[in-house]
Amino acid sequence: MGFFDKLKNGLNKTKTSFDEKINNVFSNFRKVDEDFLDELEEALIMSDINIRKNYIKSKKQNKKRRYKR
């Protein structure tokens, strides 16, 4: 699997996860209130954390590959 295939798969996983989180927030609330905004904020923050975590993981894997050569 090449670099761009891995990137594409990773982005698809991120998109799917983000879509699920946002859909859950909107399906659980009927009106925009404090609880809705709290849940939306949490979903957005968690998505950002997962993206950063995956980026860091990718960088670590690249370093390991470089040092093995």
Q: What is the pTM of this model?
A: 0.59
Domain that holds residue 56: 3-61
Length of the chain: 69
Is 33 inside any structural domain? yes
Beta strands per DSSP E along 1-69: none
Query: Which tens digit of pLDDT belongs to each residue from 2-58?
Result: 878 887 887 888 888 888 889 999 999 999 999 999 998 888 888 777 777 777 777
The CA distance from 17 to 43, in Å, is 10
Using alpha carbons, select from 39, 14, 41 the residue that is nearest to residue 24.
39
Which burial class, exposed, middle or buried, applies to 36 when counting CB atoms under 10 A from its CB (0-12, 13-18, 19+)? middle
Token readout for 64 is: 């390991």
| Whether residue 69 has pLDDT greater than 70 | no
Task: Look at the chain and report how many structural domains it folds into.
Answer: 1
- Asked whether residue 65 carries a pLDDT value surpassing 70, the answer given is yes
Q: Is residue 44 part of a domain?
A: yes
